[in-house]
Structure 1
Amino acid sequence: MIEPLLDIQALQVRYRTPRGVLTAVDGVDLRVQAGETVALIGESGCGKTSLGKAVLRLMAPTSGRILFQGADLAALPPRRLKPLRRDLQMIFQDPLAALDPRHAALRIVQAPLALHGTPRAQRAARAQALFEQVGLPWSLRERLPHQLSGGQRQRLNIARALATSPRLVVCDEPVSALDVTLQTQVLALLRTLQDTLGVAYLFISHDISVVEALADRIAVMYLGRIVEVLPAGQLWQAAAHPYTRLLLASVPGRDPGARRLPQQAAPAVELPSLYALPRGCRFQSRCPQATELCRREDPALSPLRPGQAVACHHAATPSALRPLPVRILTQADPCPTPKLSIAV
């Protein structure tokens, strides 16, 4: 078996707040192979960004292991972690907020090179090559971030992330702040860069249509847990977890009045709070298949078929799945803290 580039084991991230302890990530296992794109999808507030930041040690994990090229990032002291940061980078959601407003584009791209000791004479040449790779005109090198368009700012973010030739890039909703045309361009750029450089992506998003265009595998996250992992090409045909199927049912089909999966409304229920997670399956209050077993025991993420794993007591093979009555949240539903929503 090929050793994964990134191997997350039983990762847990908790926050202490005035209201108590909030569990953002709770026992997540996930692997990313070299050169692979794994998309992490789920509702807002389910823990996707917390997981991504913990992988890069932008926040400290509460427990668990983060194995990257054999080293446990969760246990390394800052002195030993710094050399590995060349191989670990992040593309942030808001391209303007992620850039220093006082620095010109050229200085922004050169900053990680200077931090990791690249000689001054090589920085300009490397920066110019990066500008060309991401499709930024070299004439923009002295522009400040506010003088660039949204698409240009995100290309600048990508250039900075690639400056040190990383092996893994965490992409945190990198196209959500862009219009549809720019989204398509940036996604095509990320795919081209991956084909050229062999970089791996952990791609965080709530938009299924975005991840379908880029991902090799998809991991579905709900209330801090991974509930299903499967190949991206099998998402519509083989999705087995009721929550995954709910997400798919929320995506409009070609006919704006239709949905791709059958659905029917269910009685309104209040979503669980991350401060007091329920016993058993966390999806039980929204699941039409929930039984006493679901309320008593939390299902483990277990293999369903080659390449697919599901955390559900009642998961069946895809061919045996019946259309499920799924619940779509509306504006009339109660809003828990933190807010969770599905775009419908």
Structure 2
Amino acid sequence: MALLLLADHEARRALRRERLFRPRRNPLNSLTDDEVTRRYRFTRIGITQLLERVGRQIQHRTQCNNAIPPLLQLLTTLRFYGTGAFYMVEGDLHNVSAASVCRIIHKVSRAISTLTNEVITFPVEIQDVMRVKRDFHAVSGFPGVVGAIDCTHVKLYGAPLGEDEHLYVNRKGYHSINVQVVCDAGFKIVNVVARWPGSSHDSAVLHGSLLGQMFTDGRLQGTLIGDTGYALRPWLMTPVTEPATNADRRYNRSHRRTRVKIEQLFGQLKRRFPCLSLGLRVAPPKACLIIKACCVLFNLSKEFREPELLFEGEVEVEDDDHHLPYDGPIRDGVLHRQMLINRFF
């Protein structure tokens, strides 16, 4: 019996497939500069600068056999942001398993998100606030603006949503995360909130955020400019829904030309990272992490002076500017808006 067991064990060992290590190659070595930018959404120099920022955080702490180097981890994540493809596809492109791609994307996204407080900052210092106000005023003469605000939806599909599934169904009937973004006149993101399910109203997202609380408490000065999906407040100006005078119409025209900055930013953001337009096949917490990481990378692309991405064949950016007019209890900015119209328009 012992001899039979030994023979069976030896037979199993003979049939066992040897573990094969796939060779690690640097994809940048075989691509032209234009191909690198198309595939990874950053130039070679930009990728090097990103690696300097997050390379230490994604470096393996153990001496693993054939460990995936930080550069390949970063490239795998950037390729996912730029395509939104399945993990298996990303793995085949970079010679890693689909399970490894999943871990890499989460790890690198978390590392990039740690830069949020460093890269995404709302103007607080007097000189910064005055600079932002001047930049917005130069657009169309609207006074005192420190940020253009709006929300955009990032689709979710194929991920388990559990008992809260109904909360993620937005007004257009699909599952999403409602992402609030504030930008300055130079298309820099100065605030982002990515944690609310798609059914949340834009105004509720703002007033449930730290930014909304700080404006309400008077800790932040200046005016935000938003569409009719927001409550009219002394610090948040919305359009006049039924303009009756020439001054009202001039106000609306200036408001529209100033607020379009945030719509243009959404177009740039979703062109650079199409995964935000195509949708994410991950659970909501991971989706929020990826969204925040993409916003950090967007600001870094501005800091690195990366070229704008206007390639043919890009996905269409959905127009989110179809909000239902807000008709809630807080409309205490009516008097302030009228004073603004009388004085400047």
Please, what TM-score do these two structures have when normalized by structure 2?
0.25
Q: Give the number of the structure whose residues are more often helix, by fraction.
A: 2
Q: Give the number of the structure whose residues are more often strand, by fraction.
A: 1
Higher gyration radius (CA)? 2
Please, what TM-score do these two structures have when normalized by structure 1?
0.25
